Structure 1
């Protein structure tokens, strides 16, 4: 790619100047309130996508990183990518044309490890390069907090502030994100995930605050979280022997994981349909059905990380595929309640001796419904499995009638002392905390 073709990043609202990847990563949210997306999509069909079979996750990560981060030399990118992607994403054949992409083999046993570890290394690179202290703000509905916290633990030049809704994440998730300490602080907010996300967005739009504190975000509003999530879509195809187009089914809450797949699709990835499975927080399925997007307060479910009533990344999705007709050609969505989710866990365990966490179970249900409505469709469906089932043992064990084996690293987190700071769901309180803790 020539210098004239170098990729820059622009806001979905198109009211700000193009910036580099590193600047987009550091800003998190664009000044006009939009989300950053590439200003053009390189066609990687040949030779990348046509020759994807057999490529390693690390090879894939380096090639895509070099494409979208041209300002960092390959010799500097390579060790960052290899260190971030120190675990695999195995593809498991479940039955017939259904496959499971296991994304829970990282340090915190959740798919968020891919994006968080990559971002931590890129943020540390940027902080060292600029010689300044950076504060990462993260709203979490569960796994994001622990993944980001662990990824940034002890990282030079970076502090992390995690906001999570009190009483609305699993006990294990709460232990994982509140027991890190050091440069990672957990704020227990009296509200919902949407409240946490709103407070983070308000901080980014607070110009006076940002004059005093260098803020960035590790939520999926940040393009640096989405880029590495593109890697494992390619890794799935690299493990699949079939050459036909592949449908990707993604359990969805804030829709960042699915957006990353759509971004890969824009570069020529041979994807069929993107299928989104949501719980009863069904604002996106209703949007596709009725044509009007109406956010609403989130409702608590057993798939708690997907309890989102105003998904940020829908704005990116609509920028990728403007117009309802075009969007519906690429995105199909359906919602399922907790009883259906439990039934899916029970059914898959009984029939295939495979254990799904509640979020992946929603994805399984969406894949099944999508296929049932298209009887002649024989193309494979890859369901992204987002978390290790042991993280939701209290939900799964009554369903299957036996204990779920807990990996040692999860058991160890339960023995640690919880450290969190209570906070009301009000921006002035959050602003005051930031100024007192991180201001100059």
Structure 2
């Protein structure tokens, strides 16, 4: 299968090229030329996660990978579960934080790392992964690529705007993982990444790639857990065609993957894109005017994004009829509502962190009587220990993954929002 640049449709690449490059010409996003469609959904849902994921994704990669190679990639990447937990008779949470860094980004990060390692195994090609994180991408990417030959990783994150435990999960590794604390917002960090891709001399010199959700491999991996959620709910409820997914949305990769799953035949009824105060998309869907404001820091910090980079993919699917425009709505949830959501879930016996609470509150405002709501739990509550504890007035224990890094020293360097400073840093890393 070929993947084309949404900004320059004449630029067409293979899966391996799309994964290696990350972005196309003029910062264009790659999108599959066609989507496989599956009619016998019930048979798919009866399969285990790994077997089903291989069947769903292999049409995208079959020109570049043998079935044996791809089976190994998926088996190694998806070696942890996605779990559906019932909240009440009308709602459930899809827990995506049972991987090594306790966040949904483990699915995409590990899948991309396995793909890249396979593509570079028999060459001396040197790759530099440059990515920006608003919280959880950093840890998932760092742990997925840590120790891999011929791959260096540099992660940019907004100084003082992610939780300390989030920060420690990816800034304490060292080795082939470098981290930069940027005196700015996530959008500033992402802007520096984009400038790096536009500098063709730099990109060639360091073998530049990105592991953000702009990389098509990340999105393909995320498709799989929508099918997994439907499979578990089908076993529990005997139906799956009334599902409404509420997705905590920052860079909008999760929504993109869900819409791809729907386009491939999974009968998701509709989606709610739940944002925090960074409400560019809800306002756009209401007014038709794309007017990003300055990014606001919130307790759901991984969603503190005012210029979501995956939105062109979402809009392409809506405008081209790949998915119906009526299947998407969006709502902004403020800080007070987020805290109320944490309290409400706690009263139902479920401890939530802020991002899942945003998605839950959006469901409560927007679910119809004939629908069943699934909100995405994208991170373990302990990654937001201080926020959850102060909201609920109780103490949270630390899972082993967080306890192991909590006492480690942060190894980051600090920098301003200065592309030349970043450029010099990256060139020094490979020389």
Deviation >3 Å, runs of 4+: 323-328
2: CA distance, partners of 1:114 / 1:300: 26
1:79 aligns with 2:76: no
Partners of 1:288 and 1:324 within 8 A in 2 = no
Rounded Cα–Cα distance in structure 2 between residues aligned with 1:22 and 1:325: 24
Maintained 8 Å contact 2:92/2:374: yes
Of the three residues 103, 113, 123, the one matched with 1:110 is 103
* Structure 1 residue 327: Cα displacement: 6.1
What per-residue deviation string (whole Å, max 9, x for no partner) do you get for residues 7-37 of structure 1?
A: 2101111344211111001110111321011
Moved more, 56-65 or 140-149: 56-65
Distance 1:325 1:332 in 2: 16
Cα distance between partner residues in 2 of 1:414 and 1:288: 41
**CA deviations over 1:248-267 (Å, ceiling 9, x no partner):** 11000110111111111111
Residue aligning to 1:184: 177
Alignment-derived partner of residue 397 in structure 1: 389
Counterparts in 2 of 1:422 and 1:105: CA distance versus 1, 3 Å: same
Cα RMSD (Å) = 1.5
Give the equivalent residue in structure 2 for 1:289.
286
Does 2:46 correspond to 1:54?
A: yes
Shift of 1:213: 1.7
Query: Residue 379 of structure 1: which of 358, 368, 371 is its match?
Result: 371
Aligned with residue 124 of structure 1, among 105, 117, 127: 117
Which of the numbers 398, 412, 432 marks the counterpart of 2:424? 432
Secondary structure at 1:137 match in 2: strand
Q: Does the 8 Å CA contact 1:194/1:297 hold for their aligned counterparts?
A: no
- How far residue 247 of structure 1 moved from its aligned partner, in angstroms, is 1.2
1:363-404 Cα shifts (integer Å, max 9, x gaps): 001111111xx4xx4221211110000111101112222101
Q: How does 1:156-171 map to 2 (within 5 A)?
A: 156-171=149-164
Of 66, 85, 94, the residue aligned with 2:58 is: 66
SS in 1 for 2:16: helix
Alpha-carbon distance change, 37 to 167 in structure 1, aligned in 2, over 3 angstroms: same
Provide the C-alpha distance between the structure 2 equivalents of 1:109 and 1:100, rounded to a whole number of angstroms. 15
Kindly indicate whether the alpha-carbon contact (under 8 Å) linking 1:291 and 1:324 is maintained by their aligned counterparts in 2: no
Which secondary structure does the structure 2 equivalent of 1:248 belong to? Answer: strand
Q: What count of residue pairs does the alignment treat as equivalent?
A: 426
Tell me which moved more, 193-202 or 379-388.
379-388
Identify which of 366, 371, 377 aligns with 1:370.
Answer: 366
Task: State the alpha-carbon separation in 1 of the partners of residues 400 and 37 from structure 2.
Answer: 43
Shift of 1:130: 3.5
- Tell me the SS of whatever aligns to 1:410: helix
1:98 corresponds to:
91
Decide whether aligned partners of structure 1 residues 120 and 73 sit closer, same or farther in structure 2, where only a CA change above 3 A counts. same
1:329 equivalenced with 2:326 (yes/no): yes
Residue 296 of structure 1 deviates from its aligned partner by 2.4
Deviation readout 1:140-197 (Å, 9 max, x if unpaired): 0011001100111101121100000000000111111110110000011110000000
- Consecutive unaligned residues in structure 1, runs of 5 or more: 1-6
For residues 130 and 319 of structure 1, do their structure 2 counterparts lie closer, same or farther at Cα, with a shift above 3 Å needed? farther
Q: In structure 2, what is the equivalent of residue 10 of structure 1? A: 4
Normalised by the length of structure 2, the TM-score is: 0.96
The correspondence of residues 106-255 of structure 1 with structure 2, limited to 5 A, is 106-241=99-234, 242-255=239-252
Between the aligned partners of 2:51 and 2:325, the Cα distance in structure 1 is: 32
Report the equivalent of 1:4: none
Deviation at 1:58? Answer: 0.5
Give yes or no for contact 2:319–2:325 (8 Å, CA) kept in 1.
no
2:268 corresponds in structure 1 to 271
What corresponds to 1:21 in structure 2? 15
SS in 1 for 2:27: coil
CA distance in 2, matches of 1:426, 1:419: 20
Deviations 1:217-247 (A, max 9, x none): 1001100111000010010111112242311
